[in-house]
Structure 1
Amino acid sequence: MGKTMLEVKDLKTKYITRFREDVYAVDGVSLKIEEGKSLGIAGESGCGKSTLALSLMGYYFPPLHYISGDIVVDGKNISKMDPDDIRRNILGTEIAYIPQAAMNALNPTQKIIRFIEDVIRVHEPKKTKKDIYDMAKARFEELGLPASVLEKHAVELSGGMKQRTVIAISTILSPKVLIADEPSSALDVTSQKMVIKMLKNLMEKGYIKSMIFITHELPLLYNVTDDIMVMYAGQIVEKGKAKEMVFDPIHPYSKGLMGSIIVPEAGSRDVKLTAIPGTPPNLKKPPAGCRFAERCRYATAECRAISIDSKEFEEGRSYRCIYDVEKLREVYGNEK
């Protein structure tokens, strides 16, 4: 086993609305990523993926609030650190975040190099402009970005180039963990491919030690990550190796998620796509039992009544369901 870069234990965070209502968006999430590994997190919109991404940085500001749990980055527990300490000593160097719609994060009136200077001087205030330029030029060129981008404004760059520029800036200080939230969404296929190639390049060259890749496109993760976790209504419902999660999902939600997506493989022409009926539960008042029960065709009265914990059934594989694996596979087999 490699060195653990990020370990999260039973993390719980919530939003407090302007009406003083609590929304439990991340509820008891645990995960671990080792050096050199990447983890994918998949799920439909509103399941809590982006909130989890924000929560993992330990940097909370209203309306997002920390409740409990531990976030350990390369041996440092950051879950209860002072926000200023996290900003100065953790963000950018230990853990970095690429938000959704990151291409819009750049100031349109500021040259890219000025943006990089601001990022670096938070951590290394004594670095000269020349030192920063030389450092940025070398990194950009190594990642396949022309050095001329540094002297341009964001409005002069295409969407794909802006996204790759934001990724380069976010990783300029070589963080231990990179969290990429939907980094390839809103891009054409060619730009998506370049973004994914760039992220893999960062891992291969050791500029980042581990990565979390968040998307609603589960099959995309098969080509990008080592492991996949499926999230639903603030909880992790299944996790395992990427190939297993795509081609042999166990939890009824994971199965439904894959059944609603075209996977390019032999025989896919004859496969019918299926939709998952219903809508996710209201996280202001989460249900007492399984959160997927109201949308699950196999749910029983017991599923709706009791809280269900994750079960590990193989090394590195677990799922959150009242049924055992054999029973689920039997049911799935009978439906074919």
Structure 2
Amino acid sequence: MTNLVEIKGLKIYYKTLRGDAKALDDVTFTINDREILGIAGESGCGKSTLGNSLILLKPPMKYVSGEVRLNGERLPIDNTVEMRKYRYKKISLIPQYAMDALNPTRKIGGIIKDLVGQHRVKYEEIEGRLHERLRMVKLSKDILNMYPFELSGGMKQRLVLVISTLLNPDLLIADEVTSALDVSSQKAVSLMFKEFRDEKIVNSIVFITHDIAVLYQIADRIAIMYAGKVVEIGPTEEIMKNPLHPYTKALIKSLPNAGIRHTHQKLEGIPGHPPNLINPPEGCRFKDRCPFASDECLNEPPLVEVEPGRYVACWKVKGR
């Protein structure tokens, strides 16, 4: 399988008055061509930082080390100016709360004209494509004469998907795009991402969420993050049915099963709290919450392939 994106040893920190918070600390993995890669984990694990770092570093974020390659070309992620030629053309991002970022004083058509104009693309060149994309997500072109506040949350989220893919980027990063939607809208929007990949509007998608159940519907593979590290990566079906890392197991156990009453099954929370990323502990960062921790966990476990296509960072997992 061909790699679209290669991330090696990426370190992205946040400057704070108490020191640097190691939000991404030596992260390495690949994104395959034509796949949807889901990234899941608790709040603060670094998944949104990862998505943002691939397109735009905003203070107090700072690049420390590592590299990102897209189709073999190294991206200048540490250079905001140089990254302009890649944003929205090669890599596009739908950030958290994107649907609330639409200018309420501008009609939607005007917002789109401003965006494509910033990338030296004439509106007339993409107008036909725009109308076709609106049709795909079941939106009328009449909304181009409407204001954002006239649309429902689901309609705005579908519109943002259209806007972010107008220039046909190779990689689309979607950050918590379903968190503000009801369950039926979540499913509809999620499946639209899959359709955009299948129709080759984008090559690959990184779908970031705290809700791992959403990824079960659309992701080809899932990467689990914890405290600035990737702790497990594998095919979605295998991750969901046979998680290997203790954190992944605990995360999946915290999900409710459909059709089972709460009186018959109690959800299991994960005891303790994530570590302070300004001064993270030595060794495995999950060890203080892990029921299987031992002295061996005082050393940091590398992310290694324990089965074909399965990567885990845990000393206890067989196959190491």
Deviation at 1:294, TM superposition (A): 0.6
Query: Are the equivalent residues in 1 in contact too, given 2:234–2:309 (CA < 8 A)?
Result: yes
Deviation at 1:265, TM superposition (A): 7.8
- State yes or no: 1:106 paired with 2:106: no
The whole-number CA distance in structure 2 between the counterparts of 1:14 and 1:191 is 34
- State yes or no: 1:206 paired with 2:200: yes
1:262 aligned partner, one-letter code:
P
2:26 aligned partner, one-letter code:
G
The whole-number CA distance in structure 2 between the counterparts of 1:249 and 1:121 is 46
The whole-number CA distance in structure 1 between the counterparts of 2:316 and 2:262 is 28
The whole-number CA distance in structure 2 between the counterparts of 1:266 and 1:156 is 39
Alignment correspondent of 1:245: 239
Alignment correspondent of 1:31: 29
Deviation at 1:116, TM superposition (A): 1.1
Q: Percent identity?
A: 43
- State yes or no: 1:7 paired with 2:3: no
Alignment correspondent of 2:58: 61
2:302 aligned partner, one-letter code:
D
Task: Please report the TM-score for the alignment, with normalisation by the length of structure 2.
Answer: 0.94
Worse-matched range after superposition: 131-140 or 160-169: 131-140
The residue matched to 2:154 in structure 1 has which SS? Answer: helix
1:135-284 alignment, distance < 5 Å: 135-264=129-258, 271-284=265-278
The residue matched to 1:121 in structure 2 has which SS? Answer: helix
The whole-number CA distance in structure 2 between the counterparts of 1:325 and 1:300 is 15
Alignment correspondent of 2:82: 85
Worse-matched range after superposition: 41-50 or 265-274: 265-274
The whole-number CA distance in structure 2 between the counterparts of 1:123 and 1:96 is 13
Query: Are the equivalent residues in 2 in contact too, given 1:74–1:176 (CA < 8 A)?
Result: no
The whole-number CA distance in structure 2 between the counterparts of 1:274 and 1:42 is 18
Alignment correspondent of 1:302: 296
Query: Are the equivalent residues in 1 in contact too, given 2:77–2:83 (CA < 8 A)?
Result: no
Alignment correspondent of 1:332: none
Worse-matched range after superposition: 259-268 or 141-150: 259-268
Query: Are the equivalent residues in 2 in contact too, given 1:219–1:263 (CA < 8 A)?
Result: no
Alignment correspondent of 2:318: 325
Aligned residues: 320
Deviation at 1:310, TM superposition (A): 1.5
Alignment correspondent of 1:74: 71
The residue matched to 2:273 in structure 1 has which SS? Answer: coil
Deviation at 1:79, TM superposition (A): 3.6
- State yes or no: 1:117 paired with 2:105: no
Are residues 212 and 320 of structure 1, via their aligned partners in 2, closer, same or farther at CA, if it must alter by over 3 Å?
Answer: same
Deviation at 1:134, TM superposition (A): 3.5
15, 18, 21: which one pairs with 2:19? 21
Task: Please report the TM-score for the alignment, with normalisation by the length of structure 1.
Answer: 0.90
Worse-matched range after superposition: 161-170 or 115-124: 115-124
The residue matched to 1:325 in structure 2 has which SS? Answer: coil
The residue matched to 1:70 in structure 2 has which SS? Answer: strand
The whole-number CA distance in structure 2 between the counterparts of 1:247 and 1:263 is 13
The whole-number CA distance in structure 1 between the counterparts of 2:111 and 2:101 is 11
1:6 aligned partner, one-letter code:
V
Query: Are the equivalent residues in 2 in contact too, given 1:99–1:180 (CA < 8 A)?
Result: yes
Are residues 269 and 203 of structure 1, via their aligned partners in 2, closer, same or farther at CA, if it must alter by over 3 Å?
Answer: farther
1:102 aligned partner, one-letter code:
A
Query: Are the equivalent residues in 2 in contact too, given 1:238–1:319 (CA < 8 A)?
Result: yes
Query: Are the equivalent residues in 2 in contact too, given 1:69–1:79 (CA < 8 A)?
Result: no
Query: Are the equivalent residues in 1 in contact too, given 2:37–2:206 (CA < 8 A)?
Result: yes
Q: Deviations over 1:153-207 (max 9, x none)?
A: 1111111111111111011111100110111111012211221121111111110
The residue matched to 2:218 in structure 1 has which SS? Answer: coil
The whole-number CA distance in structure 1 between the counterparts of 2:319 and 2:68 is 34
